[in-house]
Each structure stands twice: as C-alpha cells, then as structure tokens.
Amino acid sequence: MKQSIRSVYNFNAGPSALPLPVLEKAQQELVDFRGTGMSIMELSHRSKAYDDVHNEAIARLKRLFSIPDNYEVLFLQGGASLQFSMIPMSFLNPGQKAGYVMTGAWAEKAFDEAKLFGEPYQVASTKENNHSTIPGVNDLQYNEDDAYVHLTSNNTIYGTQWKEFPDTGDVPLIADMSSDIMSKPIDVSKFGLIYAGAQKNLGPSGVTVVIIRKDLLERSNQEIPTMLNYNTHAKSNSLYHTPPTFGIYMLGEVLRWIDELGGLEAVAKQNEEKAKLIYDVIDGSGGFYRGHAEPESRSLMNITFKLADESLEKKFLDQAKEAGFVGLNGHRSVGGCRASTYNSVPVEACLALSEFMTRFQKNNS
C-alpha cells in the first residue's frame, strides 16, 4: 500500500489531498475520455459514457461501504451546509423536536438551521470543555418521539471523533460524516441518513453524498421546493438536473483507489498507523506539544495541537512551510496547529511530519 510522494506534504483540512494515482489517471483521460474524443467535462450527463461513470460510482460506494439494499445513494450539490437545512425541512415538522449532539462548530451550524423549521434541542454538549471530548453513547438524553437525532461524526476544528455510535432505536439517527466518511468500516444500518461533502475523503469539492433509508424518503415532507426534496433526486438517480459530472467521475476514481488498496479495513489500518506516528510525538514530547482532544476522543482524521510555548508556534509553522508541509495552521477560530490525515495523505507524509516535529523540539528546547 505504498503511495507516491509529491513535492509537498498536503495536510489541508479541505479541500484536501487526493491520491496521486487518481490525479494522474484524470490527467491522462482529461482530453479524451475512454475514446469518446471529449473530456469528461464535455460529455452530456445523459450520454451512455457518463451514465456508466455515474452508476459505477454509486455501485462501488454501496459495495465498499456495505450499504444495505433499503438505502438510496444520492449525489447532490450545496455541500454539507445545505444539508443543515434540507434535513429539518424534510423531517422536522412545526411543533416537533429533534435532538442535536453539540460537539463543535458544524453541529452548531446545523442546530441553528433547524431552528427555522421546528424545535431542535441539545441532546448533549461538550462546549464546557472546549469540545475536547465526545459524549458517551449512554449519556445522550433524547425523546422517543423525536423526529431524529443528529450528530457530527468527526470534528475537524477540535480534532475529536466518535469511536462508537449510539443505538437510537426507532428514532432516526442522522450523521454529518463529511470529514471521516469511508475512513473505516461502520454499520450503516444504524443510521437513517448519512451525509458528507466529498472534499475530504471522497474527491474534489462540489459533490455531496447522501445515504438515506428508503422509509425516511417515503415519510419526508413533500411540500417543499423540488430541488430541496430528496425524493426528486432519488427518483431520477441524481440526474434530475445536470450533476457535477467531473466531481462524480473523480469520486468514482477515488473509490476505485480505495478498492485497490484493499477496501475500508485496509484504509482504517493505515489511518491508525498514520495518526499514531504524530500522536506518539505529541505524547512523548513531555508537554512541548499539547494535544487538544482527550486521548479517548482523538480523531484519526484531524490531529489538533498547540506548542506549550506559544511564542514558538509561528516559528514552527514557518519552518514547517519551508520544509514542504502545507495546511498545518489550526482553524482560525481556535489557532494552534492541525494535521489533517485523510485517506489520501500517505504514511510517508505523516512519518516526515513526525520526524520534523521531533527535530523542532530538539532544536528549540
């Protein structure tokens, strides 16, 4: 599973690294896609050539993610941010309640949108500890007649991630998985709906994946605009209007790359290895580096940390940039440092970062 290394180490939080083999294949096919004499970007979305790309991507996603037959896979636009509105618009009727688990900025944005349609409330919150943990699955207090329970599976800004998901019984569980979808196997059947922007683990920005249980489709609100109705897209195989064809092509090629690596089990093992390289340096630094997330809640996708001596942080980031590390600045709202180690970031990049961090500590202690 050794991957090629480029001239920089890309740790951007999103849009983020893409597999070099996928980019090289896209480059080769850019002008003449599969003998059509046209670029994939020039093909009609009603053509046989594009239809094959579209359906191959859906089929591969279903197989790799072990999506049961009673779910639809949709390719939408508007990013995860539009889902913040589409979900309550579809499932949260006036006077109804929906529970939101508040673990960071994206959960807060989703919560605020839900206020426009019904009565969202907080099932649990980690705000008091600056979102350094994930709530225990047994600590969630929700109502049996809730429209749904919503959570964010991985928090890019604070570097926390759910290790296990709650069983919410008859209450649909909805998850924003934008930053860790396809990073490990999960039991999709636990969820009523999963959504994710593609630009972290699945491909370039511009495509949003929605995995929705068919019974939810059947009981969703139909008195909403056509383009915001999940049924519109489910009935048309996500081809009601012109989809982001190039983005879906790239998504399909990233899925092919995951398949060739050995599937999600192999990807998960590699992600654990990558994160360990960096967390081990943090834990072994004697406090020189300080991780934000508590160990039991640490993300394998976004490793957040600060230097104990804040005056050294700018020096660290400047020297890291000179050494070819891109995207290590923490989110503007919290500062510090962040290494986003998504699927496409190779082991070699994480090893190089761990070695750089060790050298920097030695030279500045």
Which positions are annotated as active-site residues?
106, 176, 200
Task: Report the alpha-carbon distance of residue 174 to residue 29 in Å, rounded.
Answer: 37
Task: Report the alpha-carbon distance of residue 351 to residue 332 in Å, rounded.
Answer: 26
Task: Report the alpha-carbon distance of residue 53 to residue 338 in Å, rounded.
Answer: 35
DSSP letter for each residue of 121-138: EEEEE-GGGTT-S---GG
Closest by CA to 290, choosing from 302, 299, 300, 303, is: 303
Please list, in sequence order, all residues whose beta carbon lies within 8 angstroms of the beta carbon of residue 88, skipping any fewer than 6 positions away. Answer: 98, 113, 114, 116, 117, 118, 120, 147
> Is 10 in a helix, a strand, or coil?
strand
Residue 76, amino acid: L
Q: By the 8 A CB rule, do 111 and 120 touch?
A: yes
